Amino acid sequence: MITAYCIREGLLAPVPVRTVDDMPADAVWVDLFRPCEGEDRIIEAALALSVPTREEMVEIEPSSRLRVENGARYMTGAIVTNSEGDKPALAEISFILAGSQLVTVRYEEPKPFRLVIAKLDRACPPGTRGERLLLILLDTIIDRAADIIERLSADIDSVSQQVFETESEGAGDSGRFRTILKLLGRRGDLASKVRESLVSMGRLVTFLATEGEAQRFDKDQRALLKSMQRDVVSLNDHVSYLGSKITFLLDATLGMVGIEQNNIIKIFAVLSVVFMPPTLIASVYGMNFQDMPELDERWGYPLALIAMLAAAIGPYLFFKWKRWL
């Protein structure tokens, strides 16, 4: 689907494009969303641009993601999608800045795009062109990453309290630790995806700032680029700290699981020691020897029971005295 956005009456007006003739001359932003067969050729014919394929967008070489071709700047970055769900993902977005026009190629619908479209649909700054729209999009993407990191930090603090809570539920601890491990795994996956997105955005902003003089960005736009660079560095440091904290909590949880397993094994070891002497006594009196005088006495059977009971209670009291239980 191709949507061309024009500035009309101070608002960002969408215009559907189905053929080359439908492309408005005053379009400042052309959004190519999940292009079907032939739509990329419409863009190429209408704007004289080469539209990258999905395979080209996922390439990791910097020369493929950030390049200048025929005066147009091709930039590809990764954006986190479905961050509130159980399966966050990275969506590759290509930004093409050609003169005063911006072209975006995407196969997902990340939240920053919806936010920018809704914001500019209410009020669009006068004199908005492609480079300003690009900066607004990038700034919104970075702000969205910051929001995800803030929520991630709160979630990690909550998980930390669950890991180190003092009350123990005994047999229920295994289920609690299993839940905690799943939470830490999901948060770690989200943190890694946010960091990967920030790295790609940082490279994109740096590339754009390097090419800023050629694009003749004004003073405010260059200041915004520098601010975004600082924000990306700061957010990268913070998400790295969160990754280290997740690793620490994961190690602590595994340590707690090990302690619980040791307690269970200790109980079985104590039980085996407690029942070993009674078993020995019962085994002795279970032998089929004729010369065992206790077997002929009336007090032999109760004496054997008392001996077995005493042999079981003795080790148990000793373990309690040593505080091994």
User: Which of 213, 241, 260 represents a domain boundary (last residue)?
Assistant: 260
Both 252 and 265 in one domain: the answer is no
| Secondary structure of residue 217 in the 3-state scheme | coil
Both 191 and 220 in one domain: the answer is yes
Q: Report the domain count for the chain.
A: 2
- Cα separation, 31 vs 28, in Å, equals 10
Q: What is the per-residue pLDDT across 32-75, written as a single tens digit (0 to 9) for each?
A: 888 787 877 887 777 778 777 788 777 777 667 788 888 788 88
Domain carrying residue 269: 261-321
**What are the backbone angles phi and psi of residue 92, rounded to the nearest 5°?**
-85, 130
Both 124 and 173 in one domain: the answer is yes
Both 35 and 166 in one domain: the answer is yes
Both 134 and 50 in one domain: the answer is yes
What per-residue confidence (pLDDT) applies to 315?
A: 78
Both 234 and 267 in one domain: the answer is no
Written as six digits, the tokens of 106 are 């995407």
Q: For the chain, what is the largest distance between any 2 Cα atoms, rounded to a whole number of angstroms?
A: 116
**Do 49 and 96 touch, CB atoms closer than 8 A?**
yes
pLDDT-based confidence at 212, cuts 50/70/90? Answer: low
Residue 103 has pLDDT above 80, yes or no: yes
What per-residue confidence (pLDDT) applies to 146?
A: 92
Region of poorest pLDDT, from 159-173, 196-210, 256-270:
159-173
Q: What is the per-residue pLDDT across 283-320, written as a single tens digit (0 to 9) for each?
A: 877 776 667 777 777 777 787 788 888 888 887 787 77
Strand ranges (DSSP E) for the chain? 2-8, 11-17, 27-33, 66-69, 72-81, 89-98, 101-106
Consecutive H or E run containing 122: helix 111-122
Between 249 and 261, where is the model more confident? 249
- Cα separation, 151 vs 169, in Å, equals 28
Sign (positive or negative) of CA dihedral 6, 8, 10, 15 = negative
Both 303 and 203 in one domain: the answer is no
- Smallest CA-to-CA distance from 5 within 129, 106, 94 is with 129
> What's the CATH code of the domain at 303?
1.20.58.340
Can you give the C-alpha Rg of the chain in angstroms?
A: 34
Both 125 and 212 in one domain: the answer is yes
Strand ranges (DSSP E) for 112-266? none
Both 267 and 254 in one domain: the answer is no
